Structure 1
């Protein structure tokens, strides 16, 4: 009888330590994948939920030296922040820019603010809102 015929099947096709290594690698890969998924989810949530304050321009009314802007601001209760507005003339030059602060416990603020300008503005543009 030859020695090849007396070997056990696991000795011919691999050692039992290879099975343990494969199992360990699967466990480590699963744990690392779950951690990566949790980190991506955490960053995604904070990117979307992010600033905690947002606004939109409802209407605006321009005169020769000011633009009255009707803003609707949504924010978290107790969050203080500011929104930056700008106005441009008909030729595209910026004629006014200002930050407007919003504080207090309200979560929705409906307010008309006055943006002073150096010339007649033809736009009222919300550049963004941030926590302070």
Structure 2
């Protein structure tokens, strides 16, 4: 006795509904993946390119009730905004925070600003810069 095969002959009756469903799922998955990739790229670009003011701390000098901070600011011509600087004590507590405004047509500003502190600060940290 031989056992009869329950499989249909290949190519004789067209594609099965499972194969059509698999293809549909692949197409939907590729479309959703491309949309997600485009969204992440768009947000990433605007996060990086959206800032018209950037700065860095070149150096600082701590005194008893103030910290002198040497900032180098880069901005677009005609853009105005501010940079936030903070200082911390040796134990990590914040002892001073201030916003320093930058206006004008210069694209590079090299300036020493004075941050008043409640006690001796041991750091000078640039928190961030924002355009108006």
| TM-score, structure 2 as length reference | 0.70
Q: Does 1:113 align with 2:121?
A: no
Equivalent position of 1:74 in the other structure: 74
Of 32-41 and 56-65, more deviation after overlay is shown by 32-41
Equivalent position of 2:50 in the other structure: 50
Distance change >3 Å, CA 37–CA 122, structure 1 → 2:
closer
| TM-score, structure 1 as length reference | 0.70
Correspondence 1:19-30 to 2 at 5 A: none
Q: Work out the CA distance in 2 between the residues paired with 1:38 and 1:90.
A: 45
Equivalent position of 2:89 in the other structure: 89
Equivalent position of 1:123 in the other structure: 123
- Aligned residues: CA RMSD: 2.8
- Structure 2 unaligned regions, length at least 5: 1-12, 16-22
Give per-residue Cα distances to partners, 1:29-84, cap 9 Å, x unaligned: 99988777655543332111121111110010011111000000111111111111
Give per-residue Cα distances to partners, 1:2-46, cap 9 Å, x unaligned: xxxxxxxxxx648xxxxxxx9xxx8xx999887776555433321
Q: Which has the higher helix share?
A: 1
Q: Work out the CA distance in 2 between the residues paired with 1:44 and 1:56.
A: 22
Matched length: 118
Q: Work out the CA distance in 2 between the residues paired with 1:38 and 1:130.
A: 26
Q: Work out the CA distance in 2 between the residues paired with 1:123 and 1:94.
A: 10
Distance change >3 Å, CA 117–CA 33, structure 1 → 2:
closer
Runs of 4+ in structure 1 deviating by more than 2 angstroms, as ranges, are 29-44
Q: Work out the CA distance in 2 between the residues paired with 1:56 and 1:66.
A: 19
